[in-house]
Amino acid sequence: MSLLTPAQLEAALRDIGAKRYHRLHPFHGLLHGGKLTRGQVQAWALNRYFYQAMIPIKDASLLARCEDSAVRREWRSRLVDHDGEHEGDGGIARWLKLTGGLGLDPEYVTSLRGLLPGTRFAVEAYVRFVREKTLLEAIASSLTEMFSPVIIGERMAGMLANYDFVTRETLSYFDKRPPQAQRDADFALNYVKQHATTPEQQQAVLAALEFKCSVLWAMLDALYHAYVAPKQIPPGAFVPKE
């Protein structure tokens, strides 16, 4: 292991994104390409809700171990993005607009009764990672946001073109995210470039991003297995009506 320059570290992070980000998962090809039924899209939105709902818990867990007031001040905007300024505002509320627009009852969605165990375990592993690893690794694990504006663009275009049951209003969650993700990713990327100053820390940063990619990937594996092929829905999980 040799020490990378900050630019080399950034390049190595981008390389992980190019190879491991869930944009490459077959489920997203189907989702964005209009190859899924409404029930399969519902299953995706329902499961992803748990991820959305846990993001502020994850971010507050990071704040709870950060002793630098300036970093906390920056990171706290993520809580505002997801919980909003008032009832009905923020990313979680907008995700419930998405599930509602797809015809899912909000009480059922938020109850988590229909969640795939694979989704639950992957998301919980992410929260645990942020609670238990170093602050540097916790911050690095957020860096999948570097890659999210591209996938969101593809998703908006693909889903609007290919599904008559999806409207722009339903997808309003994704309208707001790219600038927020860009701002957050810039901060986190600068942070790790500045604070990963030993080869060991740099490797830990790279491993943190690989870990996070595997969380997002595992969520789609669980969806594919249950709802695409071999279509083995685990007991208790959401069953599409069609």
Task: Find out whether 59 and 69 touch, Cβ atoms under 8 Å.
Answer: no
How far, in Å, CA of 187 to CA of 72, rounded? 12
Site for its own copies contains 92 (CB under 8 A): yes
Task: Find out whether 174 and 45 touch, Cβ atoms under 8 Å.
Answer: no
How far, in Å, CA of 222 to CA of 166, rounded? 23
Q: Which of 14, 24, 83, 135 binds its own copies (CB under 8 A)?
A: 83
Task: Find out whether 46 and 39 touch, Cβ atoms under 8 Å.
Answer: no
Spatial CA neighbour of 220 closest among 106, 116, 127, 95: 116
| Helix orientation angle between 6-20 and 172-195, rounded to the nearest 10 degrees | 140
How many positions of this chain bind its own copies (CB under 8 A)? Answer: 27
Q: Which of 35, 38, 76, 177 binds its own copies (CB under 8 A)?
A: 76
Q: Given the rule CB under 8 A, which of 1-9, 32-40, 85-93, 150-158 is the region that contacts its own copies?
A: 85-93
Site for its own copies contains 65 (CB under 8 A): yes
Work out how close the CB of 156 gets to its own copies at its nearest, in angstroms, rounded to a whole number: 24
Nearest residue (CB) to its own copies, 15 versus 186: 186
Q: Mark residues 45-64: x for contact with its own copies by CB under 8 A, - for none.
A: --------x--xx--xx-xx
Site for its own copies contains 69 (CB under 8 A): yes
Q: Which of 2, 5, 7, 86 binds its own copies (CB under 8 A)?
A: 86
How far, in Å, CA of 106 to CA of 99, rounded? 7
Nearest residue (CB) to its own copies, 141 versus 202: 141
- The residue type found at 42 is Q
Spatial CA neighbour of 144 closest among 218, 213, 48: 213
Nearest residue (CB) to its own copies, 60 versus 156: 60
Task: Please list every residue from 128 through 147 that binds its own copies, using CB under 8 A.
Answer: 131
Q: How far is CA 135 from the centre of its chain?
A: 19
Q: Which residues bind its own copies (CB under 8 A)?
A: 53, 56-57, 60-61, 63-67, 69-70, 72-73, 76, 79-80, 82-87, 90, 92-93, 131
